[in-house]
Structure 1
Amino acid sequence: MTAVQTRVAELMGTVASVRAVGEPLDPQAASEAIDDCLRELSELEARFSTYRTDSEVSKLRRGELAPGEASPLLAEVASACEVWSRRTGGRFSAWFGGEFDPTGFVKGWAVERAARHHLAPLCERPGVIAVGISVGGDLQLFRAPDQEWRWRIGISDPRRPGSLLATLELGHGAVATSGLAERGTHLVDPRSGRAAASVLSATVVADGLARADVWATAACIAGADDLSWIGGAETRSGLLVAADGRIRSWAGTAELVAAEGATSPD
């Protein structure tokens, strides 16, 4: 009989949910892996949060810590942010406003890192079918190599709270969503300093959550009229909803929907 173990915790200013599925499922092994994953996420949050005065990032921002004194993890994140700024053509930046703020990258990176360290190995144990984690609706999912299990994921319609725009079935990989629906106009184009408001939501599917998260944000910054970036993004697929109601989607490097005025059925 299929068994499911679920754990929910408050992390990173939102809710984290971990689910392990097995037939059978070793409850102790699953519990230990989930504990370790959530513990690492808590430690990463303590190190990188811009809301905690005692975090390493906050100390760096206040000048209490010199860049050369940063931990290897902070140096790794700063280096990755530089790389992603180049890859996105400046649509993502951790230095907009003059201070280092890796928030737009570090959540996806941290969730993927902790999940690969502690959850992915569960899929190598006998009987385990799949395991995944959701943090604030962003997902990193794994499946045992010999299984056909598929996660069924709902994509919210930002124009109709509580409604689904589409559903996605995914065996393994990551899904991230960015936009205005949950937090209002909070995204700023680092290239111009202007608010990005032409995309209500952008959902991106990729192999890892760090990549999916960065490109979901970059898609919102690029705007509803610009999908030129998908050619070099190495994402699997994605969908965005424009403020004017248009829906654009892609798979790999090919756009699937680009019709003027296209909307989902009422």
Structure 2
Amino acid sequence: MKIASVNVNGIQGAVERGFLDWLAEQDADIVCVQNLKAKSFELDESILYPEGYEGYFLDAAEDGFAGVGLYCRKIPKAIMYGLGFEQCDNEGRFLQADYDRFSVASFLMPDDPHAKQRFIASYSDYLNKLRRKRRQYIICGSWYIAHKTIDLAHWSEHQSTPGFRPEERAFMDQVFGPMGFVDTFREVVRDAGHYTYWPLLAQDTPRHRQDGWRTDYQITGPELAKSVTDAWIDREATFSEYAPLIVEYDLTL
């Protein structure tokens, strides 16, 4: 099973820059998209239902803001919209597809530092409850946090920068520590220099400069983490400032 995840930073603009062509070439089972910045009723049929995929979307209440989506080759058993707390659900930040053996979610953390801290409090409660369930989960998306020093360039200059503040990194320590989740990318790739976001990089510029951040993750529990067979970042995809994170699992839907 192949899962791709990407922050499109505006789905309509990403489509103009080649997102649908990229999607058609992936042969992915599920593609999780974040930061749509459009309501689903505003989107063309070609975006809602690309060939071979069924599209599902959770819109933010505010126009031109946030929103997440899932493109699924196999129709899920059920779709869960939101997590039951206002900041998440009104802002379109969590969408989950349930299959027989596991669930796959598209997730978008707030990027504003104050909103992020409020969100983390409620989200931490959810993650702690999740690990006590027998069901397995893969959560894919933008967390707007670089976890370790190897996850961004020039880290020593960014210790007070949002996205690398001590309290944000401490939260990720909890996620990948006591909460029991696994960073699937790091199951395969252990060295530095792998990024999913280039703040000052033009969208049509190849990602050969190494001054980015790794702020996008696919996380799962330790059991599903054993099924990870490969993981990589598609730096050649330039329809957004964010690059797609792709993980292959020895699983079937």
Where relative contact order (Cα < 8 A, 6+ residues apart) is larger, the structure is 2
Normalised by the length of structure 2, the TM-score is 0.25
Mark the structure with the bigger radius of gyration. Answer: 1
Which has more helix, going by share of residues? Answer: 1
